[in-house]
Amino acid sequence: MCLTIPAKVIAIDNPMPDFPVAKITVEDSKGARELKSLWLPELKVGDWVLYAYDTAVRRVSEEDAREILELLEPKKHIDISRLDTGFVEVLKSHTAGTLSRDGIVRLLKTEDPVETETLFAEANTVRQAALKDFFCIHGIVEFSNHCVRECHYCGLRKGAAGVARYRMTPDEIVSTVEDAVRKRGYKLIVLQSGDDFHYTDETLVDIIRRIKKSSKVFIFMSVGERSLECYRKMKAAGASGSLFRFETSNRELYNSVHPGQSYEKRMKLLKGMKELGYYIASGFLVGLPGQTVEDIAEDILMMKEMKVNMASVGPFIPCVSTPLSAHPAGSAELSLKAIAILRLLMPKAKIPVTTALETIESEEGRRLGLSSGANSLMFNLTPERYRGEYRIYPNKYHGNAEVWEKYGLFNEELSYRMLEKKMFEAFEVAK
Ligand code: SF4
């Protein structure tokens, strides 16, 4: 589903009052524009509407419109008169496609608040130009917290003590997705688990087939390091995307926090998924022990080089029962800078505000992420009785989805078609 920035109706021009489509003029922070309007009974000047492309599709109360604006519109005034010319040169180099590794490091390292705000504002401008004012919301079902791996940062690692392990049955998974699609309007859902081989390839394939048969929804699989053959079968069954993060592009760092795993193997699998035609969602962590700003610059460049379709950045959060429990959390500001730079380099990519960022910054993290170049959110659809046990890190933020679910274009076929179109565009860009 999508949510757009609301606009105020300033004129209605409908020569045939009984005709279901009217011509209206609306105004938002970018000025006035003409739109078509679907049949919105008794729409009048002064009302607020949400619109998709050139069509107003839904009336919004003024109170809710202001709440959405508060969430989605950047509002800091930036005094650019005192900006360093070197910084401006680096920042603007993305327009010529020449933002270099050194330039990225310069942007990541700035501690000047005005430069930082300018970076965020530039990313937001690029997002608006490339993607208009659409913000997407997707859902995630965490269907098993069992895992055979021992990632040093993760509260679900095999050896973690005090985790109440659960597995949802295939029936539970299918019905949870069906409810989210039918009752709440979700159009893209991620099915996530630890690396849990209790679910055979055939079980996963069957779950995907059943969902695709009953619901019009895009399915993304986040089931870890399984064989490429398994990914091929899941794709053939109807999976559209794969959420598979590389976590860090620094080979030694990767291997040091993923005992028993190999950087080469992971990257080979990721490449294989791309060749299979998956819509690739990948990303990295900010704040791993020993990670440098230069490493993060390489992470960003790797995302661009791989032409991932969805690029996510999340701060590391320490968790008890892990070898990194005493390591400080990653920086939210550095994560936001990385999001902003990704947007400069990949104008059309889907960039989510990660739950880790929201966990560190709460509701403010969502607003900061969305006004720094991000354009989507992922809401948790895991049944309540399991949700608290999917603890990759503690105090996971489960932000309220109210405004989004109330005003996302979720009952409209238009919403699915818009997503389909955007995914197609993303594939074109990633070719
Ligand atoms: S990060 Fe994923 S693969 Fe690693 S231990 Fe946690 S759930 Fe398992």
Q: Can you tell me the distance from the alpha carbon of 113 to that of 343, in angstroms, rounded to the nearest whole number? A: 19
pLDDT over threshold 80, residue 251: yes
Span 58-78, average pLDDT = 75
Domains of the chain with bracketed CATH: 2-69 (2.30.30.140), 80-122 (no CATH), 131-399 (3.20.20.70)
For residue 324, which of 292, 357, 290 has the smallest C-alpha distance? 290
User: Where would I find the H helices in 376-412?
Assistant: 384-387, 402-407
Span 376-398, average pLDDT = 89
And the tokens for 363? 């509701």
pLDDT digit string, tens, across residues 257-307: 999 999 999 999 999 999 999 999 999 999 999 999 999 999 999 999 999
| Amino acid identity at 393 | Y
The answer to whether 108 and 297 are in contact (CB under 8 A) is: yes
Q: Can you tell me the distance from the alpha carbon of 173 to that of 124, in angstroms, rounded to the nearest whole number? A: 36
Span 387-398, average pLDDT = 85
Angle at 129 between CA 426 and CA 46, to 5 degrees: 120
157 lines ligand 1 (CB under 6 A): yes
Q: Which atom of ligand 1 is nearest the CA belonging to 224?
A: 3
pLDDT over threshold 70, residue 420: no
149 lines ligand 1 (CB under 6 A): yes
Q: Can you tell me the distance from the alpha carbon of 200 to that of 219, in angstroms, rounded to the nearest whole number? A: 18
Q: What does DSSP say about strands 241-243 and 134-144: parallel, antiparallel, or unpaired?
A: unpaired
Least confident of 169-173, 291-295, 310-314, 396-400: 396-400
Task: Quickly state the pLDDT bin for 89 (edges 50, 70, 90).
Answer: very high
134: phi then psi, degrees, rounded to nearest 5: -95, 130
**Cα 182 off chain centre by:** 22
Least confident of 44-53, 77-86, 155-164: 77-86
Residue where the block lists tokens 């993923």: 258
- Highest-scoring range by mean pLDDT, 2-16, 316-330, 361-375: 316-330
Take atom 5 of ligand 1 and give the residue whose Cα is closest.
157
Take atom 7 of ligand 1 and give the residue whose Cα is closest.
194
Q: Can you tell me the distance from the alpha carbon of 430 to that of 71, in angstroms, rounded to the nearest whole number? A: 30
Distance 317 CA to ligand 1 centre (A): 14
pLDDT digit string, tens, across residues 208-220: 999 999 999 999 9
Higher pLDDT, 39 or 376: 376
Bin 241: left if φ > 0, else alpha if -120 < ψ < 50, else beta: beta
Least confident of 6-10, 32-36, 141-145, 285-289: 32-36
Take atom 2 of ligand 1 and give the residue whose Cα is closest.
194
- Return the pLDDT at 431: 45
For residue 316, which of 108, 163, 155 has the smallest C-alpha distance? 155
- In sequence order, the β-bridge partners of residue 193 are 144
Measured over the CA atoms of residue 314, residue 316, residue 319 and residue 324, the dihedral's sign is positive
Q: Which of 142, 146, 147, 166 to mutate to test the pocket of ligand 1 (most atoms within 8 A of CB)?
A: 147
Task: Enumerate residues 6+ apart whose C-beta is below 8 A from 170.
Answer: 203, 206, 207, 210
194 lines ligand 1 (CB under 6 A): yes
- Return the pLDDT at 45: 87
pLDDT over threshold 60, residue 369: yes
Model pTM above 0.85:
yes
- Return the pLDDT at 417: 65
Task: Quickly state the pLDDT bin for 396 (edges 50, 70, 90).
Answer: confident
Q: Which of 140, 143, 157, 196 to mutate to test the pocket of ligand 1 (most atoms within 8 A of CB)?
A: 157
Least confident of 53-67, 112-126, 380-394: 53-67
For residue 173, which of 136, 215, 137 has the smallest C-alpha distance? 215
The answer to whether 266 and 260 are in contact (CB under 8 A) is: no
Q: Can you tell me the distance from the alpha carbon of 243 to that of 241, in angstroms, rounded to the nearest whole number? A: 7
